[in-house]
Every structure is written in structure tokens, then in C-alpha cells.
Structure 1
Amino acid sequence: MIFSFRGKKSSKKGQKNEFKEGNISLELSIPTHFRCPISLDLMKDPVTLSTGITYDRESIEKWTDSGNLTCPVTHQMLHDLNMIPNHFLRKMIQDWCVEHQSHGIERIPTPRIPISAYQVSQICSKIVYATEQRDEEKLRDLIRKVSVWAKESGKNKICMVENGAGRAFSVAFESFASISMEKYADLLKIILSGLAWMFPFGEEGLSKIGSRTSFQCIVWFLKGDDLSAKQNSVTVLNQLLSLNKSYAVKLMEIEGVAETLFKIVQAPISPALTKASLVVIYNLMQGNEKLVESFVDMGLAQVVIEVLVDGEKSMSEKALGVLDQICNSQKGKEIASKNALTIPVLGKKLLRVSELATEFTVSIMWKLCNKNQEKSLVVEALQVGAFPKLLVLMQVGCVQATKEKVTDLLKLMNLCKDKVECIDSTSGFKYLRRSN
């Protein structure tokens, strides 16, 4: 088999002219054994399996990660998944690249070998020991090393998560937060940035990061001006709340949590932070009507409705989820029903964003229209074209709970149809999108 490699044109003026004047496209023959049998690309990090066949590490890892336990070439079972770096072949490939540098071929850098479970275990033990000794300088060095490993590859991140890095970081975070948040602010920020991608943290790690001390520090960062620390804080909170709702009770014991989250949404700093904060608020409000009313008193209903006006898909889903929770309280429904934007915005989002957004939209509309004695909101929903969209939703299908709400809404609208001069029966179809 013959392979070829199309060289990049050199940046050197003379060589550029040579190619142009000759009007040729330079092709170089690449030795077959330099090619990965899977991707057929030049190997950057050749590794040899127990079957004796050499592959590029990235290609064979994708193969085994997909559940394949045979050698792609020999079809033998891989009883041993160890990948031995083929240093000799890598050196040959690098030499070949250097030899043809004049043709614009770049030398393949020496790859870094993925870390092992043993290495992670060792550094985690050192992190815990440095924490116990209050050795800030040593701890910074160890965390810096973990950060370097994480940047090298996603495989390294997975290895660290699976072997207790989250637990070690959680221990360090709680320990230094308990001494002085102000004094160790920079160190705590670095640890928090690691915790943001290390979930799950293990049982011991959860007990540390979910402690009152840790929560106080996280909220302290939320109140600060550091955008990165804010983002990492809400990320960690969402991870904890998604795991166990009992963390919501602990978090609400910290003074100023609700007010801080509200301010982040009210005066958005970045879309990512706003969305993450909306998710935290959504999780906190579930089953807590008293907290819902506190958020309503702050003005969250109005803020969320304004967010929905121009919110993109992801933002709309989260804002609709929060508004749905707000409408679980009587005060929340009253505020939402009085806002002139509520029904028009809901009519706009219906069938237009996503299935989840539609479910939230139907739920909100049902809660508002069902309790509206004068049926003015039902009439308004008819005027914005909700009726035909709900009919479409019934036809394309939805979950049972949503279907029941849609049926109730259609009945209410049918009773009020005489109060509307004209209903555009096609307006609901132009936003219907086929699922891929």
C-alpha cells in the first residue's frame, strides 16, 4: 500500500516562489508503518498492544473506550489493555519529519504519557498531608501539578476524578477556609477551580465540601467581584444540589444566599454565570414555598420574564423552569399574571425552543389560566395564538402530565373563543420543528 502526504507550503518566500513557478503540488511518500492502522494518519504517539500491533494512542483509546476488546488488526481478544509506548518508532517518525521540514512538515512533539492511578493516589496523599501541615507553598505546587496534568488530556482528568482528586481538594478547601477565607483567598480560588470539574468527590469529599464552613466560603466568593470564582462556585453548588436536595437546606442556612443569587441574575455579568445561577435558584426553590415568596418579594418574577424576552434556547429553558417554580406560590402567580409581558412571552416560547421549554411553558400557562377567575389571561392566550399551538402539541405528542394540562387549557380556551374576534389557526404551525 502506498500513502502520500501533501506538504504545507513553506513560509519562506523563495520556496513559495519555487512551488508557484513550477506549478506543482509536492507529495511525499509516507512509510506505511508510520501510519496508524485505524485512522491511517501519521502516528503522533505510537503505542504497542499485547498483540504486537502498534497504533496511535488516541485512535486505539477511542476504540477501547467504545467497548471494543479486540485488536483491530488481528481480531484477537485484548486480555491486557496496557499500551506500551513505542519509543523507537516515535523517534523514527520524528526524524522523518525533521528530514522533510523544508517541505513544510512540522516535527511531531514528544507526547506526554498519561498519568496512572498510582500517580494520582500519590499526589492526593501529598495534598492531604500538606493540608494537615498547613504548608501553603507545598500545596500550591501540588495543585499546580494537578492543573498541568488536567490540561494535557481529558484522559488525565478522568483518571484523577476516578482516583480521589476531588476528595483531596475538598479536604484542602474546607481546611483552609476554616482558618481564614481572606488570608487564603487566592489558594481557595485555585482549589475551587479544580473542584468545578472533579465531581463526584467521594463520600469523605462530599462531607467536606458540603459542610457549613465550605458553603460559607463558596457564598463569600459569590458575593465577591472575581468572575471566575463566581462561576466555579455556582458550578460546584449545582453539582451538589443535583446529587442531593438536602444540600439546599444547608445552603439556605448561610446568610445572604438568596439575595446574592438574585443580584447575579438581576444584573447579569456573563450568560454562563446567569444560566448557572438560575439552575441553583431552581433547585433551591423546589418544595420551598417560603423561599419562592422571598424571591418573588425581591422581584425575581419580573427579572425572569425580562430574561425570557430575548433569551436563547439554554437561557430560556432555565428561566422558564424558575418561572414555573415561582408560579407554585399564590403570590408568584399574582405577580406573573399582572405582568403584561407574561402571556405574550409564553406564547412566543411555546413549541419554539425545546421540548423541555414547552413543558415548562404549558405548566406556567396552566397555573396562571386555571386560577384566573375573570378568564382575561385565557383570552389573552387565545389572542397570541396559543390555541393552535396547543392543538399541534397534542398531535405531535408530549408527556402525560403535560398532555393533561394542554387538555385543560384547550377546554378553557374553547369556552372563551367567542370573546376573541379572530384566531389565527395557522400561527402555531410555523414554529413547529421536526426532530432530527
Structure 2
Amino acid sequence: MVRDDLYISVPSFFRCPISLDVMKSPVSLCTGVTYDRSSIQRWLDNGNNTCPATMQILQTKDFVPNRTLQSLIQIWSDSLPHPLHSPDSLLSKDQVLLAISHLQTPPRLDSLAKIARFALDSEENRDFLARTECFVPLLVGLLDNVNGGVEFLEQVVTALDLVVGKMEDGERLKNLMLKRQGEGQKQSVLDSLLLVLQQGSQGAKAASARVLKSVAVDAESKLLIAEKEGLVSELLNLIAPEKDPGLMESCLSCLVAISTPKRSKMKLVRVGAVKVLSRLLWAPSLSVWATEMVLKAVETVSSTKEGRAEICEEAACVAAIVKKVLKVSSVATEHAVTTLWSVCYLFRDEKAQEAVTKANGLTKILLLMQSNCSPHVRQMSADLLKIFRVNSKSSLSSYHTQTTHIMPF
């Protein structure tokens, strides 16, 4: 005998006239016709100015939620022998609170996925989740367990990434995420974030890096992250030129954020950051923002003796920095010139000076001084020219640093 309840008859007015699917968020146009929000928004975004059903020209493209119809669809769905819960259905705020309560007992993946879709839908929804008192602590508690499996941790990290940026109290977030690090506990939040960086999907890896950056609010938290065994190395692995640009930029931003304490800088140097950053600077398709961040990271490690030694030993790194002095951005110029000033002028490294000369750096510095650069950059450029003026091998032996009218060559 065939079961009748396997066939569901959907009332026609519950279906979107465009997609023909049951509407998740019904909205009405000025013509009175109701559509699913995502379908009609796509229609309007494509440049159309008519009502798809009536072809009337729209006097306004505004639409209003049809709450009555949404309630009817929900009542109908709940009355079915097997209620419709499409994987793409968007929860109401009350349903989200219920889904959050379900996170305390397994299975949790379905609830996490629905909460993540709710958060992705709007800024308002992310604000709502961030204000929900128990939500972030509950996610952190779930994250503090590497035994949940990578797929589960990916969902937790994704949900956490969507709301941590909305938290106004960064200190509270840090305490939640890192409070167990000093207690010798074998498993921790950092273990889980590292596992996602190593084995997760590209999107989850990027989310993990962004969460780490959000936690790095002071020297203590930055050191805890930087000194987690394997974490900095994994972030460096993920900023290779062949990696996804979005993932690369998230990991690069995290590295820069945690690198300000001296011990963090030393860790970066020890795990080979200079070679990695040098390769990135030579990458042909590096974005302006990524270039600025790489140069910022190089400038940061150049403030340590070990970092300067690595930069000076890596001739390709110095040449790459010289290459970025002009034609990227004012921010990139300042980071590049500061690094060159540090290794060539402040610490008088002969290898670095030679590398700058070979890379035609003097010409670029001269051109930079004729440009509309900041007073700070201009002064560092003048200092650099003084160094090369006293070098008998330099063509600038008779150059005076106050001269600014120089023909480019």
C-alpha cells in the first residue's frame, strides 16, 4: 500500500511565482503580488523595473514583509506529518533561541548550520546573536573539545566567526577563549582552531584565522597564540601565493595582529617567515591590501636583530622590498622605506646596502623624494641617501640630500 503522506500538496499561493518553491520570506511589491524575498531581490538586482507576474512598471522597488502569509505557511508546515524543514529555511529569532538551547545536547550539527544561515542573512541577526548572553560562551565550550571531529569544529568556528566581530567587549572574548591556557589543560580552544587550520575547508580555515585575530587583543593573548606549537607555522603555510586569496589574506591579517610582542616576532623569524614573506612579495597577482600587510609583517620582524639578519641574508627579500617602494600605495611605501631605513641606515648592514644598490633602489628613493610623500618618509629617504653618498662605489658621491629637483632616469 502506498502511503498518502509521502505526497504533499502545496497550496499555490504558498509558492513564489518566480522560483515556484514554498516561500521562506514572503514580501509584497507595490502591485500587491507576493514573492519570496531572495527571488524578487535577484530580479530587481538584475536591473528589472517591472512586476514579474503582471509586468506592470514598478512605481517603487520597495517591498514589505507579508507577515500574515508567512504565519500561514509556518502553521501549514508544522501541521504536516513530516514538517517541511528545508536545509535553506531561515529561522525566526524565537526558533534561533530554541536552536541555541539544542546545542547543549547532541546531535548539534543541524542546529549549528541553521544558526549560521540565520547569522549570514543580515547584520541585525548577527547583532542579535552577539547580544544573546549564553550564545558565545556556549560556542566556546563546544570549541574546547577537539574530540568533536573536524566537521563539527568547522561549524562551530564558522558560527563563532560570524558574531565575534559584533562583540564590543574584546577582553571578555579573550578570557572566554584563552582562560584555560595557563592551567596546563591538554585540550584547548587553540587546539581546535589549529586542527581546523590544518584539516578544515578553505572557508573554515579563514574563519579560524579571523577568530584568532579577534582574540588577539593584548600582549598576553598575542603571545599565547604565537607560542602555541604549530600554529604560526600553519598560518605561514596558508599564505603561500598559490593559496586562495581570501584565505591568504585572513591568515596574513592574523599573523600581523599577533606579531607585535618581541617574543612573537622572534617566533616568526625562527619558523621561516622572512622567506615566506619574500616569496609573497614577488607574487604577480598580490592585491594592494595583501602587499601592504606583507610589508607590514616584514617591517615588524626587521625591528629584531634576528629578523634583520634574515632579511639581509635573503637578497631576494631586499630586492622585493625595493620593488614595492613605488606604485603600490602610500601605506606600502611607508612600510617598505621603514624596513630599508632600519637595515641600511639604522643598523648599517652592508649586505642590505649592496642589495638595494643592485635592485636600482637609489633611483627609486630619488624619485620618491620628488613625489608627494609624507615628511616621515621623506626624512627616512634622505637618511638612506646619506648612507649611499658616502659609498665611493655609488654614483651619488657628490649628491646633496637637500636637492629635490632630480630628473628621473
**TM-score of the superposed pair, with normalisation by structure 2:** 0.66
**2:90–2:114 Cα contact (<8 Å) kept:** no
Q: Which residue of 2 aligns with 1:301?
A: 274
Deviation at 1:297, TM superposition (A): 2.4
SS in 1 for 2:50: coil
Say whether the 8 Å CA contact 1:43–1:55 is kept in structure 2: no
Match of 2:228 among 254, 259, 263: 254
Cα 1:194–1:176 shift into 2, 3 Å: closer
Maintained 8 Å contact 2:315/2:355: no
- 2:149 equivalent to 1:199: no
Shift of residue 339, structure 1, vs aligned partner? 1.8
d(CA) in 1 for partners of 2:192 and 2:309?
36
Secondary structure in structure 1 of the residue aligned to 2:234: helix
Q: Does 1:276 align with 2:281?
A: no
- 1:22-78 deviations in Å (ceiling 9; x for gaps): xxxxxxxxx9999xxxx9822579xxxxxxx97323xx8xxxxxxxxxxxxxxxxxx
Counterpart of 1:332 (choices 307, 316, 319) is: 307
Cross-structure match for 2:113: 144
Within the alignment, does 1:42 sit opposite 2:50 as a pair? yes
Matched residue SS, 1:416: coil
Contact 1:379–1:417 under 8 Å retained in 2:
no
Letter in 1 for 2:299: D
Please give the per-residue CA displacement for 1:66-119, whole angstroms capped at 9, x wherever unaligned: xxxxxxxxxxxxxxxxx565999xxxxxxxxxxxxxxxxxxxxxxx9998xxx4
**Equivalent runs, 1:342-361 vs 2, <5 Å:** 342-361=317-336
Inter-CA distance 148–278: structure 2 relative to 1 (3 Å threshold):
closer
2:128 aligned partner: 163
Give the aligned residue type for 2:126: V
- Residues 1:384 and 2:388 are matched in the alignment: no
**1:258-280 Cα distance to aligned partner (Å, 9 max, x none):** 33333434696433333322222
C-alpha deviation, 1:364, in angstroms = 0.9
**Alpha-carbon distance between aligned partners in 2 of 1:340 and 1:206, rounded to the nearest angstrom:** 39
Whether contact under 8 Å (1:327, 1:364) holds in the other structure is yes
Report 1:225-264 matches (<5 A): 226-241=201-216, 244=218, 246-252=220-226, 254-264=228-238
Q: Check conservation: 1:161, 1:198, Cα contact below 8 A.
A: yes
What amino acid does structure 2 have at the position aligned with 1:257?
A: L
C-alpha displacement of 1:360: 1.0
1:307·1:319 contact (CA, 8 Å) conserved in 2?
Answer: yes
Pair 374,330 (structure 1): closer, same or farther in 2 beyond 3 Å: closer
In the TM superposition, 1:77-116 aligns within 5 A as 83=64, 85=66
Distance 1:169 1:278 in 2: 28
Contact 1:378/1:416 (8 A) holds in 2: no
2-structure distance, mates of 1:322, 1:197: 26
Deviation, structure 1 residue 123: 4.0
Structure 2 gaps, min length 5: 1-29, 34-46, 70-87, 181-187, 400-405
Task: For 1:182 and 1:267, locate their aligned partners in 2 and report how far apart those are by CA, in whole Å.
Answer: 32
Seen in structure 2, the aligned counterparts of structure 1 residues 265 and 200 have a Cα distance that, compared at 3 Å, is: closer
Q: Distance in 2 between matches of 1:246 and 1:324?
A: 22
Number of residue equivalences: 329
CA-CA distance at 1:331 after TM superposition: 1.3
Contact 2:240–2:280 (CA<8 Å) still a contact in 1? no
Query: Displacement, 1:391?
Result: 3.4
Evaluate the alpha carbon distance shift between residue 247 and residue 56 of structure 1 in structure 2; reply closer, same or farther with a 3 A threshold.
farther
| 1:404 aligned residue | 379
Assess if the C-alpha contact under 8 Å between 2:174 and 2:221 holds in 1: no
AA partner of residue 176 (structure 2): K
Distance change >3 Å, CA 253–CA 367, structure 1 → 2 = closer
Deviation of 1:224 (Å): 2.7
User: 1:237: Cα distance to partner?
Assistant: 1.6
Gaps of 5+ in 1: 1-30, 46-52, 61-82, 89-111, 428-436
SS at match of 1:55: coil
2-structure distance, mates of 1:374, 1:282: 25
* AA matched with 2:61: D
The 8 Å contact of residues 206 and 247 in structure 2, kept in 1 or not, is answered as yes
What corresponds to 2:13 in structure 1?
A: none
Q: Specify the SS of the correspondent of 2:229.
A: coil
Q: CA deviation at 1:337?
A: 0.9
> Shift of residue 400 of structure 1?
4.0
**Percent identity (aligned):** 16
Calculate the TM-score normalised by the size of structure 1. Answer: 0.63
Deviations 1:235-283 (A, max 9, x none): 2222333x55553134245333233333434696433333322222222
Q: 1:328 to 1:374 in 2, by over 3 A?
A: closer
State the partner residue of 2:98. Answer: 126
CA distance in 1, matches of 2:273, 2:193: 22
Counterpart amino acid of residue 97 in structure 2: S
Whichever residue aligns with residue 136 of structure 2, its letter is S
Distance 1:253 1:331 in 2: 17
Closer/same/farther in 2, CA of residues 159 and 295 from structure 1, 3 Å limit: same
Q: After superposition, what is the alpha-carbon deviation per residue over 1:358-402, rounded to whole angstroms, capped at 9, x for unaligned?
A: 111101110110145474533542443333433333343334433
Compared with structure 1, are the counterparts of its residues 327 and 199 closer, same or farther at alpha carbon in structure 2 (3 Å cutoff)? same
AA in 1 matched with 2:250: A
Which residue of 1 is the match for residue 61 of structure 2? 56
Amino acid paired to 2:154: K
- 1:276-318, Cα deviation, whole Å (9 max, x unpaired): 22222222221x2233223222222122112211252343222
In structure 1, the partner of 2:153 is 188
CA contact (8 A) 2:275 2:314 kept: yes
Distance 1:271 1:192 in 2: 20
- Give the letter for the 1:351 counterpart: L
